[in-house]
Amino acid sequence: MLAPSTPYRVVVIGAGFAGSATAVQLLRAWQGGPLELTLLERTRDFGPGVAFSTPDPRHLLNVTAAGMSALPDAPRDFLDWLHARDATAHAGTFAPRLAYGAYLRELLAGAAARLPGVVTFQRRDDEALRIVDGRDERPATVVTRASGELTADAVVVAVGVNRPRTPPGAADGLLDHPGYVADPWDHARIAALARHERVLIVGSGLTMVDVAVTLGGEHDESPELIALSRRGVLPRAHRSTPPAHVTQFRPPLGPLTADRLAAHVEAAALAEVAAGGDWRSAIDGVRPHTQALWQALPLGEQARFLARHARRWEIHRHRMAPGVAARVRELRDSGRLSLRAGSLQRIEPLSDDAIEVAYRTETGVEQLQVGAVVNCTGPDPAPGADGDPLLSSLIEDRLGRAGPLGLGLDCGPDGELRDCDGHPSTRLFTLGALRRGQLWETTAVPEIRCQAADLGRLLAVRGAAVSAQRAVA
């Protein structure tokens, strides 16, 4: 039998935006007896995660300050924080991502500094390697690299995205080559590529843009940058003055298919332009409906959307901040960044300073020689695909299974993981990008902050019930 004082124990794995916001929301909502909350982070930096730990001040948020509060019930929270530090900041400012990282560190530290007596909150520099059991009524155990085993009544898997998949055509020796960067968010390795004369960036989305902005530098000695992707198109840009309104989106009538949905959204954008407005108003109007639309598509139609329409949607929906778009234009105008359309055939190291690349275009196979290659093809959506021990073992141990279409993890409406047989867990939860198969749009702050608030409240309610039972046991 449990001693009356046994606290409700929650382990949150990962202290990027999703894990940090969940911890903050649980602490805000907690009204039960003793709570022991442990937040594990393997990088020692609590709050910013991958997106907001960039040291490069030219990497800007792609959402305005008005849209970036971490707390859905306090929409001005980030804007006020920013304005207190920069009097010129306003609702439409696209702030440096490193400023947002500082905001998250402070938010977490502030929550930790105001704990009620019944709550302990530990932030541990540690990596979770495996989750054991956690099914039925048994508590879960989180096995970590440094602290051994942690017993938990609830575990939140908030580990963000995988690294990109190895690009096609990678020859033997490429992955260990000093000029090959598999992790485009490894800022030190990216900065070190500035010494090369020519760098190939595989991919042309927002991650490529980050790399180009860093390596493009401010002076003429920076490398020549070549961005290669299948279509060779860039994300669109935000306007410096946001559109005056967001168009109300009306879903199409009748059975929903991927093609009908795409045509419907396209027609809404064209109608907006024809009426003298901005296509962005129409795209932004779809955003509150994207999760419901995704869930209304049958599985086969979701697959068709991914194959036929997702890229076009993403370049219009996830836009560059105006300042970043201007920098990319300068780099292209000066010839320091070029975009090429083609599919990779082969990437082969020739020596420590030379890699040969072959890619197929509409007219034939082109070859080029570069000093370095950065993989910016986007996160691999399959859980554990990059060899991450935690997610791989979750699947191997049958505590979790891949989500629809292999995107993220399968989970229920509250983010509760489904095991290999589809049974929802009462103890294991996730949020953010790992819910992609279920929700599709679940990777940006405006979506994740709501999931974190819901999950924090849910754990607080469950924890209060468990505390009450333990108090009388």
Ligand X SMILES: Cc1cc2nc3c(=O)[nH]c(=O)nc-3n(C[C@H](O)[C@H](O)[C@H](O)COP(=O)(O)OP(=O)(O)OC[C@H]3O[C@@H](n4cnc5c(N)ncnc54)[C@H](O)[C@@H]3O)c2cc1C
Name the residues that contact ligand X, by CB under 6 A: 13-19, 40-43, 49-51, 61-63, 127-128, 158-161, 210, 390, 432-433, 443-445, 448
What's the closest the beta carbon of residue 300 comes to ligand X, in angstroms? 28
Separation CA 435–CA 45 (nearest Å): 24
Alpha helices in 142-205 (DSSP H): 187-192
Sign of the Cα torsion 94, 95, 98, 103 reads: negative
Residues whose CB is less than 8 angstroms from the CB of residue 159 and which lie 6 or more positions away in sequence, other chains included: 13, 14, 19, 388, 390, 391, 434
Distance CA 379, CA 323 (A): 25
Q: How far is the CB of 37 from ligand X (least distance, A)?
A: 15
For residue 401, with 0-12 CB atoms within 10 Å meaning exposed, 13-18 middle and 19 or more buried, which class applies?
middle
Report in angstroms how near the CB of residue 109 gets to ligand X at its nearest: 16
Query: From the CB of 196, what's the least distance to ligand X, in Å?
Result: 22
Q: How far is the CB of 308 from ligand X (least distance, A)?
A: 24
The residue assigned the tokens 């039960």 is: 32
- The residue (of 258 and 324) whose beta carbon lies closer to ligand X is 324
Question: Which CB atom, from 67 or from 139, has the smaller least distance to ligand X?
Answer: 67
Give 19 or 463: the residue with its C-beta nearer to ligand X.
19
**Cβ 382 vs Cβ 395: under 8 Å:** no
Residue 206 C-beta: closest distance to ligand X, Å: 7
In the numeric block, the tokens 């929409």 are attached to: 75
Whole-number minimum distance, CB 145 to ligand X, in Å?
A: 8
Residue with smaller CB distance to ligand X, 348 or 388: 388
For ligand X, the closer CB: 32 or 134: 134
Closer to ligand X by CB, 184 or 285: give it: 184
The residues, ordered by sequence, that sit 6+ positions from 8 with a Cβ below 8 Å of its Cβ are: 32, 33, 34, 35, 36, 153, 154, 462, 463, 466, 467
Q: Are strands 180-181 and 354-360 parallel, antiparallel or unpaired?
A: unpaired
Give the nearer residue to ligand X in terms of CB position, either 179 or 383: 383
Cβ atoms of residues 49 and 68 within 8 Å: no
